Amino acid sequence: MTIVAAAEIAAAFNSHSEMEIWEVQWGIADEVASSGKAGRAVSWAKAAIARTQPPYLGTLGEVLTENGSVSLARAIVETAVKAPPATRDKPEWKKFVAGLRLDGFDLIEEDDDSEDRFTFSSRRKALRMIRMLPEAIPGLSFREAEDEVNALLDQLGLTVAKGHLSRAMSAYQRGEWSGANGELRNFYESYLNEIADRLGCQATDSKAKRDFLGSGVSPAFLLADYNEWHQNNQKPQFVQGLMSRMHPHGGHPGLSEEEDATFRIQITLITARLFLRRFDQRGRP
């Protein structure tokens, strides 16, 4: 999704001749099957995706840019990041930013050093891509988390929960933050309910199902030692606390809905991966 959106953005603010120059510089001119801008964007995306597969290993699939040798996908993304403000109002931009964040990157504004320092006009703000979390720590890739969560949902047969996650991701990619948040709440509640049912819970209330996971089954599924659940509701509990965080009432001043939706997806995927792995390792009844 990120690569396709980046190619669409790059095509939106570059002319045909500018795109042709990029193609020659990157060595993909022979792979571009169309002279139209939309067709060129498709060819760019196809070429970049192809270079993530063998035989393009190591530096073989890299291209030359002003920032040195990088993958073709990175080159296209860096081109898209240079989009002018008018292009950032397009729907493709929302999809591009959403993809970057799921890939673990964010965009920040800073003064454009390429501007003439001797003019008295206001400095233009340029965007720079930064990594959101340390690269070296395993298990922090949200794309990886999403892939594993979907695989576990299939293996465990949690079809209702998978449907909620699919709708949440689609809404997020369209920039529909409220819709994504609502489906993420449903996803979080659904897979815990389904796990409780599989482990023998007879209750119909969701809170009672979570209590069952903490104390109604042996060994307990939610661990009191890790403060995931506790019989005393006054004590800190991660599972119930996250449920409350997923059900705030309305927006809050100074809080970006986009940033909040991104946070919810990140913490929901990581949490789901933990609990679904645990259920899978426990063995399905």
pLDDT, average across residues 246-271: 77
197 pLDDT band, cuts 50/70/90, is very high
Mean pLDDT highest for which of 81-95, 134-148, 207-221?
207-221
CA-CA distance, 208 to 38, in Å (whole number)?
A: 53
Tell me what pLDDT residue 34 has: 78
Tell me what pLDDT residue 91 has: 83
227 pLDDT band, cuts 50/70/90, is very high
Token pair 């100074």: residue: 254
Q: In the chain, where do the E strands start and end?
A: 62-65, 68-71, 105-111, 125-131
Are residues 40 and 29 in contact, defined by beta-carbon separation less than 8 angstroms?
no
Q: Is the pLDDT of residue 139 over 50?
A: yes
Quick one: tokens of 191? 């897979």
Q: What is the pLDDT of residues 89-122, one digit of tens each?
A: 888 888 888 888 877 788 888 766 555 444 444 4
Tell me what pLDDT residue 254 has: 54
Q: Is the pLDDT of residue 208 over 90?
A: yes
Token pair 């990140």: residue: 266
Q: What is the DSSP letter of 141?
A: -
Of residues 29 and 256, more confidence is placed in 29
Tell me what pLDDT residue 183 has: 94
Quick one: tokens of 280? 């899978």
Ordered by start, the domain boundaries in the chain are 2-131, 142-282
Q: What's the angle, vertex CA 35, arms to CA 57 and CA 128, rounded to 5? A: 55
The model's pTM? 0.68
Are residues 222 and 235 in contact, defined by beta-carbon separation less than 8 angstroms?
no
Q: Among 9-18, 154-163, 202-211, 261-270, which stretch is predicted with the lowest mean pLDDT?
A: 261-270
Token pair 């909620």: residue: 164
pLDDT, average across residues 72-82: 91
The candidate with the shortest Cα–Cα distance to 109, out of 85, 140, 91, is 85
CA-CA distance, 258 to 254, in Å (whole number)?
A: 12
Cis peptide before 285 (omega within 30 of 0): no
Tell me what pLDDT residue 135 has: 60
